Amino acid sequence: MTTTLSATAAGLPTPPDAAKKPHEVKAPHGAQRSDEYYWLRDDKRKNPEMLAYLKAENAYVDAAMAPLKPLEDTLYNEIVGRIKQDDSSVPYRERGYWYYTRFETGQDYPIQARRKGGMDGAEEILLDVNAMAKDKQYFNVGDFEVSQDNRILAWADDAVGRRQYKIRFKNLDTGEIYPDVIDDVSPNLVWADDNKTLFYVENDPETLLTVRVKKHVLGTPASADVLVYEEKDDSFYMGIGRSRDDAYICISLHSTVSSEARCAPAADPKEFVVLAPRERDVEYDVDHLDGRWVIRTNAPGADGKPAPNFRLVTAADDARSRKEWKDWVAHRDDVFIEGFELFDGFTAIAERSNALERLRLIGKDGKEEFVKADEPAFSMGLSTNSEHDTPWLRYTYTSMTTPATTYELNTQTGERKLLKQQPVIGYDPDQYVTERFWATARDGVKVPVSLVYKKGFEKNGKAALLQYAYGSYGSSTDPGFNSTVVSLLDRGMVYAIAHIRGGQELGRKWYDDGKLFNKKNTFTDFIDVSAELVKAGYAAPDRVAAYGGSAGGLLMGAIANMAPQQYRVILSQVPFVDVVTTMLDPSIPLTTNEYDEWGNPEKKDYYDYMLSYSPYDNLKAQAYPAMFVGTGLWDSQVQYWEPAKYVARLRDLQLADKSDGKPPLLFRTNMEAGHGGKSGRFRRFREQSEMYAFMLDQLQVGSRQVGSGPSPK
């Protein structure tokens, strides 16, 4: 490969040029900003001029990527060729049935099924999602639940991609689809014990916030559904679920810094009682087994000391305040408690230490032990443990070289069973190496980095590198196996995950140090990791690519403004790049819930800080890296107009690179999808292959290395 898209740009059509239309965005404190591309926003997605612009950008991508279509096809065939097409999940037992998901060769969507008594029983197909998705550009089943008597199925599906679901019902004895349909809900369903009452969460039709819990009685119109609970504070999200022992149905409410649980007996769910009233900066989540509540919380203990990394407490059935909580598992500064699972004979705690996940087991006698791991960088977590009256713990294990693996551990005897490892056709884990690297950020903080590369790689400063990160909401990016990355490793690239501040890999402080007025740490950490990896010889300084999506797309926009010279190419999916304007508009989904994540720009100090890093507002006349930006027209989390405006303004300001002209800027809108891209297990790999082809071309990465094995068919 000797030419890049920028070198052949003379043969391409002229990039689309969106019209400029004067518009002022005003803040309550009087600040104003000019937004000449504000007109690209259309909540109904019907403006002909806007749609024409998006289609023109797509046509430009088609033309620009035409020379790379063979490479895209090769990558797609490699990625899809690693997938075992007739695959199935590990079955789990619940109320006498074994439930599982399976795929058929050539099919995009799963089949949800079960067998009575054991896996040798007759198969009952609950949902054939392939048939349901026929002739649809997008389709997703977000949740399904079987009634307690095993006879009625309720499910929630979305045929648009905007995450507004419809609930439907099926009689599993007869196959009859009931006429009952409930619109505009989140995919979160719970049956009461009477097998005819379904609890669900209703969304606000404009903001898509989870605002009401309702109950539907089969055979009655949805318009008659009874309101169970309505949340008035629009900074809270809401969900509903059953307790571990099925004794309670609980409504869980949580904001960035506060939470609350309301529970009612599943046998008679008339009154939902608050277990502990919400308090700012106090978070908790609950479960119930063996006649007591077990609660994970960051509330201070009896000694008054704060517990930012969370601790576990217990409470009696009738406890109604924090004063009645009893200490159980103490808070530690070096261990973050992420979750737990209750069993009759033990409790499994999912926790983080030294930026790695681990599982701690606590027996009834108080004895503790850890589930063992075999690699320096890995990801371990709780799997589906549907029953509590068993000594067997199911957990998942993966690393950047080990495909997702499900184990079952007998906590009494120590016996371990391998239930399944994700099959990856043509992949040999012994040909790849993973390691943990610690980069020093500009303020002296050590940032963990997980790396993977092909065996035989030399740290001579010549390789190409793809660096990924997210770094927001306390969401940790763990070092798991990524089948698509194998195509990069086989071409000599290095892949790195930067565990930057804003995630929670190193505990709650790691998160707090990357949000609100500390948000810029997220961006500078990423930039400093790139520099450290180059310095250590993992990559050539002119062959570094960066990749992020959603809030990770904000990260991509920020680093492009702050350190464009460090990156040859940036891949940005559904990027949150218009931070201030979005956060000033409470009608946009997710805005009000996130004031404690980003800040409320109606307050001038937050406004000024957010404005200082918002990618759209900080674009300037300079040389930017080559970029591939993607979005979905129906995205409900990051609206399509954010990346559309960003690309339009960037086209105005982007300067030519000194060497070979202006780097390419491509903007792809999926016209039939939302935040997660196309539905179906194969379609999304077409989008990934297009981005990878663009990146490989820009990095001047050649074909697969000798010894990589045959390219999968």
Catalytic residue positions?
Answer: 550, 635, 675
Are the C-beta atoms of residues 407 and 395 closer than 8 Å to each other? Answer: yes
Q: Are strands 569-573 and 544-549 parallel, antiparallel or unpaired?
A: parallel
Residue 150 makes CB contacts below 8 A (sequence gap 6+) with: 95, 96, 97, 172
What does the alpha-carbon distance between residue 484 and residue 368 come to, in Å, rounded to a whole number? 38
Q: Which two tokens stand for residue 187?
A: 């995919």
What is the H or E stretch that residue 49 is in? helix 48-65
Distances (CA, A) of 472 to 34, 211, 316, 344: 28, 24, 36, 36
CA-to-CA distance for 402 and 312, rounded, in angstroms? 32
d(CA 702, CA 693): 11
Own/partner long-range contacts of 350-358 (Cβ < 8 Å, ≥24 apart): 350/381, 350/382, 352/476, 352/504, 352/505, 352/506, 352/507, 354/506, 355/436, 355/448, 355/499, 355/505, 355/506, 356/380, 357/381, 357/478
Tokens 């406890």 sit on residue: 319
Distance CA(19)–CA(37), nearest Å, equals 7
Q: Is the dihedral of CA 406, 410, 413, 419 positive or negative?
A: negative
* DSSP-assigned letters across all residues of 392-435: EEEEEEE-SSS--EEEEEETTT--EEEEEE--BTT--GGGEEEE
Q: Cα angle vertex 628, ends 623, 630, to 5°?
A: 135
The CA distance from 395 to 343, in Å, is 14
Positive or negative, the CA dihedral 449, 453, 456, 459 is negative
Total Cβ atoms within 10 A of residue 657: 17
Interhelix angle 551-562/520-535, nearest 10 degrees = 70
> Which two structure tokens, joined as six digits, stand for 433?
């190496």
Q: Report yes or no: 258 and 283 within 8 Å, Cβ to Cβ.
A: yes
Q: How far apart, in whole angstroms, are the C-alpha atoms of residue 360 and residue 350? A: 7
Unique residue bearing structure tokens 């906590």: 411
Phi and psi, residue 285, nearest 5°: -135, 150
- Distance separating alpha carbons of residues 190 and 266, to the nearest angstrom: 10
Task: Give the number of other Cβ atoms within 10 Å of residue 225's Cβ.
Answer: 18
Residue in the structure block whose two tokens are 């506060």: 258
